[in-house]
Chain A
Amino acid sequence: MTVGARFFGIVLLAAVLPLGVVGAWLVRDAGRAGEELLDRRMTAALRGLADEVGAEWLRARSRLLDVAESADVRARLRTADELSADRRPARAPITVTVSRELSEIAHGVEIRDRSGGVVARYTAGTAWPGNGLKVELPIHSATGDREGVLEAWIRLETLLGRSSEWTARTGGVLGALSPDGASSVLSTPFDAHLLTSARFQLGDEDWITRRHVLREPPAVLVLAAPLEPYQQPFREAARRGILLILAVACTGLVTAALLTRQTTRPLARLVSASRAMARGELQQRVPVRGPREVRELAGAFNAMAETLQRTLATLSKRQALAAVGEFAAVLAHEIRNPLTAIRIDLQRVEEVSHDEARRRALTDRMLESVRRLDRSVSGVLSVARSGRVDPEPIPLELPLTAALETARPTISAAGAQLRESYVAASLPDVMGDRAALEQLLLNLLLNAGEALDGSGPQLVEVHVGTDAGLAVIRIRDTGRGIPADQLELIFEPLFSTKRNGTGLGLAVADRIARAHGGEIRVESEPGRGTTMAVHIPLAAGRAEAEAALPVGAAAPRDEAAPRVASFAGQQP
């Protein structure tokens, strides 16, 4: 799992998920908050309505009782009592006239005596009886005795004269039910039966109902209102909240992504730098930037790289020291072997003194060993001499041809092919010491030949060109190549990778090149081969001519492909 993915996970768990939960809760709560607000408004409206109705009813009640207060009715009520006590038949009820106000209040009024007989009656129209809300009011005498009862069929809408003001506040519809809550006593714009339930659906809208029970007149006021207008603002608020949350979450994620990138980019740099170091590019360093931990890591990496580079450099020196020991061993071998032969032979000369032929054979062998010793010493001395050269303008052809002629038999004997190619028709003149250059080129050629390991193409190629006032002689082999960690060491005197190498050939070549103000550059690919490029200054006149030419036209006479000359008869 990458750091980026982990970071995303953390942000998702710690920020986005909680925010999502909050959003969901907001949406759910928006509906409930709307309903609660509506509930409070409806309850308040119902209370207001009840107060209103109560006040109206008190007035209406006294108007109604006024009917019973008329002298006629009173007299009839009293006589009714007497008649009933005497078991005489009741008289027909009288019809009373009422004020206009009362006619607006009630559909009809009946006054009954204690036995239930109707003593007086008022009717407003044909609809009665059966219309309106039935109210019974006791009629008391002046002494407080109950004389009868007044039954009235109330027009509730009259009592609710100013109800619209209250209902408008809730955006609802007012209804009224009979005291038992079973039937409607007020006309509504929809099926009044819906009012009997606590909530109902009208069209697509949810409605809720709130009720208020009136004792007098005995009725149940029902207020119904649609939920939507109340929930809608809350839902809107919730929606905005969710949008805000989404924005916060997105910001969080983007920030996380940026932070992650900020963190992982230096890490990626570290990874690629580490890989480069693993390839041997020890100069790799990473910029110390970013968060503190990453800075520390980068710093630690750089310190490690520094130490590694230093350690490896020290190690190289140690390798060089080891090479000194190796050279000493080689030298001891080279000198003490002939010495062994000489010593033993010398000690035996006496034994064979009487035999002239055997004595001569021993002496010849000893002389040969002495010559071998001399050659070994000469080789070592050549390193010391290689730094002293006497350059003069000479054709490069002289030392090159001589070196090629000397090296060819050795290279051919190893089963390899020697090829030459030149970029110009004729070889340039260089500022050089002929003998030293011959030595240099010969050493490189022999070294190239010895690098061939018998697998793949066995080839030593010599290519001569010029570059910025320098003759460039490239000697390429298809041999085993040089490991990267040894490239710095190969020109060190006494360093050798070969079993019988003295470690002198390349050291001598390098010293000669540097004594000429030139150098040897090495490119090597282990397993594929090595190219040694010798850079030697051109002779003055030639160098100036080269310098006067535009770049890329160093060899105007030979712009075509380089001439490749293979030496016939060199194939194995």
Chain B
Amino acid sequence: MHLLVVDDDAAVRASLRDALTADEVRVSEAAGGREALDLVRAGWVDVVLTDVRMPGVDGLELLRRVRALAPAVEVVLMTAWDDPDVRFEAARTGVRACLVKPLDLHILRALVEELRREHGRGNPFGKQQCTGE
């Protein structure tokens, strides 16, 4: 499974890449929404883990475009500011999960493992969930 971490904060990207890289999980990084979209369009991203607040194409916009561009790709949002409006909009658009920073590694790994299993079964339509801290 190919996981794409999208965040304008390099430290967050580095930590997540190190923490989530595993035997069957390949992790790539993108510093912004535009860069992420290019990778999604290329067709080898299975899961997008993105920050909400980013310059240019932000997380919500990225979610919308990914849904339109590649419906099979799951999108997980991370936000430092738990805004109900953002949650509502994200749920409406078809987000897989909303995580609030600072992220808990165990929850994150559990989610990734679930996604990996679904990916292995070739079932891209998992159950939607929004998880707060």
Contacts and interface: CB of A to CB of B under 8 A. Distances in A.
Bound together: yes
Interface of A: 328-329, 332-333, 335-345, 347-348, 362, 365, 368-369, 372, 499-500
B26 interface: no
B9 interface: yes
Interface in B69-100: 78, 80-81, 83
A566 to B, nearest CB: 32
Contact of A341 (B11, B81, B83, B106): B11
B101 A336 contact: yes
A216 to B, nearest CB: 126
Contact of A337 (B83, B101, B105): B101
Given A337-B101, A343-B103, A344-B105, A369 B80 contact: no
B105 A343 contact: yes
Nearest to A362: B18
Given A332-B81, A337-B80, A347 B12 contact: no
Nearest to A344: B15
Contact of A340 (B18, B53, B101): B101
B25 interface: no
B80 A332 contact: yes
B11 A348 contact: no
Contacts of B105: 343-344, 347-348
Contacts of B14: 341, 365
Contacts of B103: 340, 343-344
A336 B79 CA distance: 9
Most central of A343, A344, A348, A368 by chain B CB within 10 Å: A344
Contacts of B101: 332, 336-337, 339-340
A344 B16 contact: yes
Given A329-B81, A333-B80, A341 B15 contact: yes
Contacts of A368: 11
Interface in B13-71: 14-16, 18-19, 53, 55
Nearest to A368: B11
Nearest to B20: A344
B26 to A, nearest CB: 18
6 contacts: A337-B7, A337-B101, A341-B15, A343-B102, A344-B16, A347-B105
A333 B106 contact: no
B81 A344 contact: no
B80 A345 contact: no
A444 B14 CA distance: 34
A343 B12 CA distance: 10
B19 A348 contact: yes
B104 A336 contact: no
Contact of A336 (B19, B102, B106, B108): B102
The 5 closest A-B pairs by CB, nearest first: A336-B80, A339-B102, A347-B105, A336-B101, A341-B11
A342 B16 CA distance: 11
Contacts of B7: 337
Contacts of B53: 329, 333
Nearest to B103: A340
A377 to B, nearest CB: 15
A367 to B, nearest CB: 11
Given A348-B105, A365-B15, 11 more contacts: A329-B80, A332-B81, A333-B81, A336-B101, A340-B101, A343-B103, A343-B104, A347-B19, A347-B106, A348-B19, A368-B11
Nearest to A345: B15
Contacts of B18: 345, 348, 362
A369 to B, nearest CB: 6
Contacts of A328: 81
A341 B55 CA distance: 20
A338 B15 CA distance: 10
A214 B96 CA distance: 133
Contacts of B15: 340-341, 344-345, 365
A79 B130 CA distance: 166
A333 B15 CA distance: 16
Contact of A342 (B55, B81, B102): B102
A344 B78 CA distance: 14
B22 to A, nearest CB: 12
Contacts of B11: 337-338, 341, 365, 368-369, 372
Most central of B11, B83, B105 by chain A CB within 10 Å: B11
Contacts of A335: 80
A499 B102 contact: no
Contacts of A337: 7, 9, 11-12, 80, 101
B116 to A, nearest CB: 18
Contacts of A362: 18
Nearest to A343: B102
B34 to A, nearest CB: 14
Most central of A340, A345, A348, A369 by chain B CB within 10 Å: A340
A367 B12 CA distance: 14
A344 B19 contact: yes
A335 B80 CA distance: 8
Nearest to B18: A348
Nearest to B11: A341
A338 B7 CA distance: 12
A337 B101 CA distance: 7
Contacts of A333: 53, 80-81
B109 to A, nearest CB: 9
Contacts of A499: 55
A341 B104 contact: no
A355 to B, nearest CB: 12
